[in-house]
């Protein structure tokens, strides 16, 4: 596999092959094995005069793919590269679905004020929606629909890997070595995720045996799936387990506030938790006392393990309990009340706000105030939120996640 990548890098005249290889490795979920090689390849693409804007890269597909990959990796390339592709009416001169999909993905890496990309999003969305109705290829039509719903940059990487392996297998131009490696890698990671889920289920059962959890959402697989969308690599196994525990406890406290405790009881609970005061449990109702001790013991165990690993962020785990004390109302209901909107209008308004938030995220990655490795985790958090709440609250009502959860933990490839 590494030799395939190195051979493609050496073929300096084939820019499109380089870009497509990087895109394939990322979408198929094995790029984490080759971060150094991919980073070097993209640096070469940026700095090689042969690949400068306005030279040989006149094809919209190549320019779009190049722009998408470079911005995705934090290179602040100019959106002016797309100006030459607009006709006198301001439309983009292409009726090719592959080109339009690439342009749509690229344009969704826009920042505030990039009118050329804003117009590209509007144009490609309208054109693809129109073309989708007349496409003879059902799989291509499905790909268009999927991309319009979720541009590539916003997708959860492991979900995309499982989906794209099936698509890549059907491509005439596929590389069988890459395909087989991707399948093997997916199955290895799946086995690891299952072991993590087994350990988490045992931990959760330690609380389930107590009466106080009758009000709680039993969503351990869903929460672990959420966390593996943020950090997916094998070496990050303990981090996934710790994060799943932390956010499962946040979920538990949310359920406590919503469904069970009085306001006064919840205030006592959260005040005691903020003080990290184990003695305060004696003043609580029995159901709350057991939960309080379980939370303290779980967090202390995580902190001790992090200290053993010489991790400098052990205290951050405490700050995350504390931050769970603020309860937020439904975003849709808040939007309806604040602006006097219908449900449909509220969803449209929130869609616009989400697009603006993604622009902020892209700009943050281009500014690179922090290492790209850390920024990628923030992007992954946004991807996970987008996946879980795109159409519904899939954490509370996980029926829509059934097939995804099955593909992550049950069905191998």
What are 84-131's pLDDT values in tens digits? 998 878 788 888 999 999 999 999 999 999 999 999 999 999 999 999
pLDDT of residue 210: 58
Q: Say yes or no to pLDDT of 190 above 90.
A: yes
**Of the candidates 403, 401, 379, the residue with the CA atom closest to the CA atom of residue 392:** 401
Q: Say yes or no to pLDDT of 54 above 70.
A: no
Q: How far is CA 280 from CA 109, 275, 291, 373, in A?
A: 50, 9, 12, 40
Q: How many helices (H) and strands (E) does the chain have?
A: 18, 0
The whole-number average pLDDT for the span 239-268 is 79
Q: Percentage of the chain surpassing pLDDT 90? A: 56
Q: Say yes or no to pLDDT of 357 above 70.
A: yes
User: Is it true that 2-179 and 185-327+370-409 share their CATH fold?
Assistant: no
Q: How far is CA 46 from CA 2, 39, 264, in A?
A: 22, 11, 59
Give the residue, 344 or 237, on which the prediction is more confident. Answer: 237
Give residue 7's Cα distance to chain centre.
Answer: 31
> CA torsion angle for 160, 165, 168, 174 (degrees, to 10)?
130
For 3-28, the pLDDT digits (tens) are 777 776 666 567 898 999 999 999 99
Averaged pLDDT score across all residues of the chain: 87
pLDDT band at 387 (very low <50, low <70, confident <90, very high): very high
pLDDT of residue 396: 81
pLDDT of residue 360: 97
pLDDT of residue 260: 59
Q: Say yes or no to pLDDT of 133 above 90.
A: no
pLDDT band at 319 (very low <50, low <70, confident <90, very high): low
| Helix spans in 133-285 (H) | 138-149, 157-169, 176-208, 220-228, 237-259, 263-275
pLDDT of residue 153: 98
Say which range, 47-51, 291-295, 348-352, has the weakest mean pLDDT: 47-51
Q: Are 412 and 190 in contact (CB under 8 A)?
A: yes
pLDDT band at 315 (very low <50, low <70, confident <90, very high): low
Query: CB neighbours of 147 closer than 8 A, spacing ≥ 6?
Result: 101, 104, 105, 128
For 134-172, the pLDDT digits (tens) are 999 999 999 999 999 999 999 999 999 999 999 999 999
Q: Say yes or no to pLDDT of 330 above 60.
A: yes
pLDDT of residue 261: 58
pLDDT band at 343 (very low <50, low <70, confident <90, very high): confident
The whole-number average pLDDT for the span 378-397 is 89
Instruction: Tell me how far apart the alpha carbons of residues 25 and 37 are, in angstroms, rounded to a whole number.
Output: 12
Domain 185-327+370-409, classified CATH 3.40.1390.20, yes or no: no
Q: Say yes or no to pLDDT of 322 above 70.
A: no
Name the fold adopted by 2-179.
Glycosyltransferase (1.50.10)
Instruction: Tell me how far apart the alpha carbons of residues 151 and 128 are, in angstroms, rounded to a whole number.
Output: 13
DSSP designation for 261: -
Q: Could you tell me the two tokens for 78?
A: 């100019």
Q: Report the alpha-carbon angle 324-335-327, nearest 5.
A: 15
pLDDT of residue 258: 66
Most confidently predicted of 115-119, 265-269, 316-320: 115-119
For 118-132, the pLDDT digits (tens) are 999 999 999 999 999
Query: CB neighbours of 304 closer than 8 A, spacing ≥ 6?
Result: none
Domain residue extents for the chain: 2-179, 185-327+370-409
The whole-number average pLDDT for the span 199-219 is 76
pLDDT of residue 333: 77
Question: Burial, 49: exposed, middle or buried (Cβ in 10 Å; 0-12, 13-18, 19+)?
Answer: exposed
In the chain, what are the helix, strand and coil shares in percent, each to the nearest 5? 75, 0, 25
Q: Are 47 and 39 in contact (CB under 8 A)?
A: no
pLDDT band at 375 (very low <50, low <70, confident <90, very high): very high
Q: Say yes or no to pLDDT of 184 above 70.
A: yes
């Amino acid at each position: 596999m590494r030799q395939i990548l190195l051979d493609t890098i050496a073929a300096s005249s084939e820019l499109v092959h380089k870009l497509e290889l990087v895109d394939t490795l990322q979408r198929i979920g094995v790029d984490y094995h080759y971060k150094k090689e991919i980073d070097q390849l993209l640096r070469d693409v940026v700095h090689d005069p042969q690949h400068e804007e306005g030279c040989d890269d006149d094809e919209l597909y190549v320019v779009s793919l190049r722009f998408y990959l470079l911005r995705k990796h934090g290179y602040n390339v100019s959106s002016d590269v797309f100006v030459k592709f607009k006709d006198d009416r301001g439309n983009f001169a292409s009726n090719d679905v592959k080109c339009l999909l690439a342009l749509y993905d690229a344009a969704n890496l826009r920042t505030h004020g990039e009118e050329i990309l804003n117009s590209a999003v509007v144009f490609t969305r309208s054109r693809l929606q129109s073309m989708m109705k007349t496409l003879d290829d059902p799989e291509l039509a499905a790909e268009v629909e999927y991309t319009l719903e979720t541009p590539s940059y916003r997708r959860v990487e492991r979900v995309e890997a499982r989906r794209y392996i099936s698509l890549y297998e059907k491509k005439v131009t596929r590389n069988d070595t890459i395909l087989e490696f991707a399948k093997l890698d997916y199955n290895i990671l799946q086995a690891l995720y299952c072991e993590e889920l087994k350990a988490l289920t045992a931990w959760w059962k330690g609380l389930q045996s107590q009466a106080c959890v009758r009000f709680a959402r039993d969503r351990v697989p869903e929460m672990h799936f959420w966390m593996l969308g943020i950090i997916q690599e094998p070496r990050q196994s303990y981090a996934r387990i710790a994060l799943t525990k932390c956010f499962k406890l946040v979920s538990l406290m949310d359920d406590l506030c919503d469904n069970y405790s009085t306001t006064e009881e919840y205030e006592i609970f959260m005040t005691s938790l903020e003080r990290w005061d184990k003695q305060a449990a004696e003043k609580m109702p029995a159901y709350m006392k057991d939960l309080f001790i379980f939370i303290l013991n779980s967090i202390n165990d995580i902190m001790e393990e992090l200290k053993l690993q010489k991790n400098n962020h052990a205290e951050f785990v405490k700050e995350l309990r504390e931050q769970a004390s603020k309860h937020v109302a439904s975003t849709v209901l808040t939007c309806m009340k604040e602006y006097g909107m219908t449900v449909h209008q509220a969803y449209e308004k929130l869609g616009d706000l989400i697009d603006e938030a993604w622009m902020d995220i892209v700009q943050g990655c281009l500014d690179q105030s922090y290492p790209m490795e850390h920024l990628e985790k923030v992007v992954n958090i946004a991807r996970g939120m987008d996946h879980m709440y795109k159409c519904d609250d899939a954490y509370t009502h996980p029926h829509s996640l059934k097939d995804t959860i099955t593909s992550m933990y049950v069905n191998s490839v």
